[in-house]
Structures are given as C-alpha cells and as structure tokens.
Structure 1
Amino acid sequence: MAAARTLRRILDTFYLIGGILASLFLIAILAIIVLQMLARWTGHVFPGATDYAGYCMAAASFFAFAYALNHGAHIRVSLLLTGLGRHRWWGELWCFGIGTAISTWFAWYAIRGNQISWRFKELSQGLDATPMWIPQLSMSIGTVMLAVAFWDHLVRLIFTGSHGITTDLVDQSQGE
C-alpha cells in the first residue's frame, strides 16, 4: 500500500507540474503582449511577438490537459453516465478506454511529428524563423502527460471501481 500511495503522489505531482507550466505560459503570453505594446508605443518592433504568443498559447493548452482531466475540468458525459444507473461502471470503462486509446495515439504522433521537424530542420514561416521542434516539444510532452493521466484513471477504474477524478460538478450536485 505504501508503494501505491507513493505512486499516487508522484502522478498527482506530475499533473500539478503540468498545471503550473500551463499557468507560467499564460503569464508569458501576457508578458509578450505587454512587451509588444511597449515596443509599438516607443516606435520599435518586436519581431515574432505574435508567433511567440501563439507558441505559448499552445504550450499552455497542452500542459493543462492532464491537470484538467485529473480535476474533472474536461467536458464529460456525466448526465449520460448517471442515466446508466447500475451500468455506469461500464459506461465509464468505455469512455476511459476510448480516451486512453485516442490520447495514446495522439501522443505517439505528436512525438513523431516533433522528430520529423527536428530531422528536417523545419523552421517557422514567421519573422522569428524558430526551429519548429522547439514549440512542438510542449505539444509532445503535454500529450504524453494526458495519455499518462488517461491510463492512470483507466487502470484505477478497472482495479478499484473508481476513476479517481477529484471534481465532477454534475455528480456532486446529485449527491454522488
């Protein structure tokens, strides 16, 4: 049991790190926008600012996925699952099974796309000419984190009967 608690703490910390990284990238977007405004007001140019803000937005989104799943912030089919009554477990199993398969597939191809961009030295088409593997790295890491989270919740559902998502507002309002 101590090993299970340690693994649970490690995974929850892993998801929290994703959430923290997502928030830092949101702050970076704010900083880039403010710097771009200051540059324009002083008659200067901040080349590539729009591209950098876009990269930060993508990073914030992908790093937030696992944290959001772990805290019940993703859109789920709770009304349908609640309507299944005693067969709810099977509905949850189906949903987490599909989510796990899709997120694992997505993570695999995100990593492959990142490798291809690195191998062919692909550059962005904007003024910044950033090697594309750099901003794509956040997508690869974020999708792997999401796949780990889906696998985590699927395995928990199979072995404990509960997926372990901490907040589900629809279910809480119904007293579950």
Structure 2
Amino acid sequence: MVALLIAILLSILGRQFNFYIRGIDAYAGYCMGAATFLALAHTFAHGEHIRVTLILKRFTGSPRRVLELWCVALGIAVSGFFAFYACKMVWWSWKFNDISTSNDATPLWIPQLGFAIGSVVLFIAMVEEFFLVLRGKPLDDTPAELARTE
C-alpha cells in the first residue's frame, strides 16, 4: 500500500513539475493488485469477507455442520484453483520471459508474484478454516455488535 501511495504521488508530482517516470502507472497497478491479493487471507481470517449466512442460519445441529463444511470445502476448491493457476501463470511468464506491454518492459512474473503468493496464502487459510470447523468452531462467529450494523 505504501508503494502504491508513492507511485501515485510520483505520478501526480510528475504532472505538476513536468517530469515523467517510465511505467509509473503500471507500477501503481501492480502494487494495487499485489495489495489486494496479499490481504485476502488476513481479511478471510478476521471474518471480513462477505458471507451469505441467510440459508446457513436456518439450520442447526448436524445439518448445519455439514453445510458449513461443504461451504468451506467449496472455498478450498475455488481458492486452490486460483492458487494453482496463479502459480502456473507466474511460471510461464518467467519461462517465456514475458514482459509488460507498457513502456517500462517489466518482466511480468515479478508483479504476478503478489497474485500467486496471495492466492496460495488464501488457500492455506481456507484449509485451516476447514479443520477448525471440522473440530467444532462455528463458521459464523461474527460478534453481535458487528452483526447489528450490517
């Protein structure tokens, strides 16, 4: 996030004082993408992702536990899919020496690392959540104060 701020400020200053840093807009985009994906697991672990609990709250006991496990298993499948293909994309970009089409010609595997690492960490967080739910942790443990404001 700090690198994104610096890139944007340099771009603004460049327009004001007539200097140009090649690829600064591309670097701002890379930083924004990396910040987004690197924050996914932390956001998930703190229950800040949007969770649709309308159906889940209607069940109790064993059916609810099965539904919770199914939801987390689906999350594992989706995040695993993204993690696998993100890593594959980084590998192929490195192997073929793929470079940015902007005027900075950055090797694309470098900014793609944020996407891949963030996706893998989210997958790990989902697997951890699955085992926590399997051990008895409720999937929806949102504090009452937070639930009232939604």
TM-score of the alignment, normalized to the shorter chain, above 0.5: yes
In the other structure, the counterpart of 1:105 is 81
Q: Percent identity?
A: 39
Would the aligned equivalents of 1:62 and 1:142 in 2 still touch at CA under 8 Å?
A: yes
Cα distance, 1:171–1:85 mapped onto 2, change above 3 Å: farther
**Amino acid across the alignment from 1:67:** H
**Amino acid across the alignment from 2:59:** L
In the other structure, the counterpart of 2:142 is 168
In the other structure, the counterpart of 2:5 is 30
Which one has a larger percent helix, Structure 1 or Structure 2? Answer: 1
The alignment status of 1:155 with 2:103, answered yes or no, reads: no
Distance in 2, Cα, partners of 1:77 & 1:164: 11
In the other structure, the counterpart of 1:81 is 56
In the other structure, the counterpart of 2:30 is 55
Aligned length: 147
* CA distances 1:92-129 after superposition (whole Å, capped 9, x unpaired): 11110000011112111111111000000000000111
**Amino acid across the alignment from 2:37:** F
Q: Report the 3-state secondary structure (helix = DSSP H, G, I; strand = E; otherwise coil) of the residue aligned with 2:39.
A: helix
Task: Give TM-score, length-normalised by structure 2.
Answer: 0.90
**Amino acid across the alignment from 2:131:** V
Q: CA deviation at 1:90?
A: 1.6
Distance in 1, Cα, partners of 2:112 & 2:13: 28
In the other structure, the counterpart of 2:114 is 138
RMSD of equivalent CA atoms: 2.0
Moved over 4 A (4+): 169-172
Q: Report the 3-state secondary structure (helix = DSSP H, G, I; strand = E; otherwise coil) of the residue aligned with 2:54.
A: helix
Q: CA deviation at 1:79?
A: 2.4
Distance in 2, Cα, partners of 1:164 & 1:80: 13
* CA distances 1:125-149 after superposition (whole Å, capped 9, x unpaired): 0011100000011111100000000
**Amino acid across the alignment from 1:168:** T
Distance in 2, Cα, partners of 1:46 & 1:170: 49
In the other structure, the counterpart of 1:45 is 20
Would the aligned equivalents of 1:153 and 1:163 in 2 still touch at CA under 8 Å?
A: no
**Amino acid across the alignment from 2:142:** D
Distance in 2, Cα, partners of 1:47 & 1:171: 48
**Amino acid across the alignment from 1:132:** L
Would the aligned equivalents of 2:8 and 2:28 in 1 still touch at CA under 8 Å?
A: yes
